[in-house]
Chains A and B, each alone.
Chain A
Amino acid sequence: DAKTTQPPSMDCAEGRAANLPCNHSTISGNEYVYWYRQIHSQGPQYIIHGLKNNETNEMASLIITEDRKSSTLILPHATLRDTAVYYCIVRVVTDSWGKFQFGAGTQVVVTP
């Protein structure tokens, strides 16, 4: 059963911020939120993860609501190379081999 809900697709203009929502209303206290993306014909690529605090790295920012039932991945200045399927995943981190359960993701298309 899917633990996350994402919109199937969204468009974004190049140079603008892309805000990708994810709903995970049944998240448990020991589950992290992860974001991956998959560019066409490549394997998925890790972007960012978080537990309850907002996180930022060189690729993106992750905003998690206070109740942890939803989150938003922000690509601050989208480029054409950010066109990809973006996956939001919740995962229990008790063992290093905990499963990553990928859903259908959001197809993001960045347009010039």
Chain B
Amino acid sequence: DVKVTQSSRYLVKRTGEKVFLECVQDMDHENMFWYRQDPGLGLRLIYFSYDVKMKEKGDIPEGYSVSREKKERFSLILESASTNQTSMYLCASCGSIYEQYFGPGTRLTVT
């Protein structure tokens, strides 16, 4: 079975903290994605990566950075967390042109 895992289901951080969200896929996919999901706004793409050490900005990259040192792992970094980054974060991977496989999500609360 295809699997995308995320390091935490729930996370609470303070304003100004550096936050790491980890995503691991076991399907040898080249392409990985980070989205955030907010009520009424749907899923919005933050960053994606199509190869190790390669990254592209999505629609809302401000305040975020990413790291892809290994094919199976794609990390989302909040350099200095702010309250407006409280959200559900979803990681996905895509090995073919047809479908993305999503992880269970991390609900991040920044206080």
Contact = CB atoms under 8 A, between A and B. Distances in A.
Q: Do A and B come from one complex?
A: yes
Interface residues of A, number: 22
Given A96-B50, A103-B42, A42 B97 contact: no
A49 B42 contact: no
Contacts, number: 63
Interface of A: 32, 34, 41-46, 49, 87, 93, 95-105
A45 B103 CA distance: 10
Interface string B82-97: 0000000010101111
A42 B105 contact: yes
Which interface residue of B42, B90, B95 has the most chain A CB atoms within 10 A? B42
B94 A97 contact: yes
B99 A96 contact: no
20 contacts: A41-B104, A41-B105, A42-B105, A43-B102, A43-B104, A44-B43, A93-B97, A95-B50, A95-B97, A96-B50, A96-B97, A97-B31, A97-B50, A99-B45, A99-B48, A101-B45, A102-B44, A103-B42, A104-B41, A104-B42
